[in-house]
Amino acid sequence: MSGRRPTGQGRDQPDGIRSPPRGKEARHAAKLATQAAGNAPVDGQPGLVVRAYGLWYDVQLRDDPRVLLATMAGTLKRERRKTDVVAVGDHVRVLDVGDGEGRIVAVEPRTRVLARLARQTRDVEQVILANPDQVLFLFAVREPAPHRRMLDRFLILAEQAEVPSLIGVNKLDLDLAVPDPVTGTETRISETVFGDYRAVYPVHFLSAATGQGLAELRAALQGKVTAVAGPSGVGKSSLLNALHPDGHRAVGGVSGATGKGRHTTIGTQLERFGPGTYVADTPGIRSLAMTNVDPEALDGYFPEFRPFLDGCFYADCTHLHEPGCAVREALAAGRIAPARYESYAALRRGDTENA
């Protein structure tokens, strides 16, 4: 096999995080389990797909430092699924065919999937990352301005799939103290925008420029596969360069006309940061759409609401106007942040323009 190495194709940020499909994939998982139990020989070496180039994949071997450029075996190509047969993050079995190339002969079952609907389809998913252990949602203090409602939508999608979330607040070197228009008390932007999330999620205040917070974040990533997501221009590439000095990622800027970031990452890839530690630098996005989120289940995707859900007088309480609502009582008592409740209420009403 020979030829020029394929070129990676750009993809947008995913629209959702979904649980793995059933059917053929479940039967395939049973086959792998039988092989692993010793009842049948296991073909190929175990590996992790770290990058995709159309029908070609970089596979990092588990027990070997080499990375093979692999394609799918014919039996996999013939499978018909409403998802990508092989994707970045998949654990696979690969045959070494020589000259640094391989053939993927099996794909292990996925635990969860970071995905979006394929263009011009309603039920076919494009996998952005398979099997993430956690997601780091990265925003900036300034340049571009932070977008809380976008962050809330990210968090809802992660909660829907039970993927643990981390919040990163980058460019802390640009943080400013802003006076309150009523009291005149000065509060830093980072605290005003992101402070109330600390009661719900791990929040890392960071500066790629000064190194602030990098040691703590590096420890949080250790031994896990982490997807990094956020709007463009927040400093994802600069931050990952600071965390992993051997990396040489292009660094984008912020558009002076729109205040939004310019994309620098062209496709999802897993980068090895240490033993068992991988980071998926996903492409920057300019917008995020909510899909497959049942409005009646929305309250369960706000962790701070959960202790109060069983206390509502009505079992189907929307937490918008009903009497005897324990969630709104908790809000009034200061146990739920007003901005988080407002984000929930806008989404529950279907007001996506303000959510």
- Residue 116 near residue 125 (C-beta atoms within 8 A): yes
* pLDDT at residue number 109: 93
Paired tokens of 146: 């932070």
Taking only Cα atoms into account, the Rg of the chain, rounded to an integer number of angstroms, comes to 22
Instruction: Compute the Cα dihedral for 110, 112, 114, 119 and give only its sign.
Output: positive
* pLDDT at residue number 19: 53
3-state secondary structure at position 25: helix
State the Cα torsion 301-305-311-314 to the nearest 10°. Answer: -50
* pLDDT at residue number 115: 78
* pLDDT at residue number 204: 97
- Residue 69 near residue 101 (C-beta atoms within 8 A): yes
- Residue 259 near residue 276 (C-beta atoms within 8 A): no
Paired tokens of 130: 């398979």
* pLDDT at residue number 80: 65
Q: What is the pLDDT of residues 143-192, one digit of tens each?
A: 999 989 989 999 998 898 788 999 999 999 999 998 877 788 889 999 99
Can you list the residues of the chain whose pLDDT is less than 70?
A: 1-42, 80, 118, 120-122, 245, 247-267, 283-291, 352-355
Among left, alpha and beta (phi > 0; psi -120 to 50; other), residue 162 is: left
Q: What is the pLDDT of residues 92-121, one digit of tens each?
A: 999 999 999 999 999 999 999 887 776 766
Paired tokens of 116: 């979006």
The set of long-range contacts for 315-323, using a CB threshold of 8 Å and a minimum separation of 24, is: 318/348, 319/344, 319/345, 319/348, 320/345, 320/348, 320/349
* pLDDT at residue number 260: 40
- Backbone φ and ψ for 220, nearest 5 degrees, come out as -70, -25
- Residue 67 near residue 53 (C-beta atoms within 8 A): no
- Residue 96 near residue 88 (C-beta atoms within 8 A): no
Distance CA 228, CA 146 (A): 16
Structural domains of the chain sorted by starting position, each given as residue range(s) with its CATH number in brackets: 21-109 (2.40.50.140), 131-281 (3.40.50.300), 295-354 (1.10.40.50)
Task: For helices 236-243 and 214-221, give the axis angle rounded to 10 degrees.
Answer: 80
pTM: 0.79
- Residue 91 near residue 129 (C-beta atoms within 8 A): no
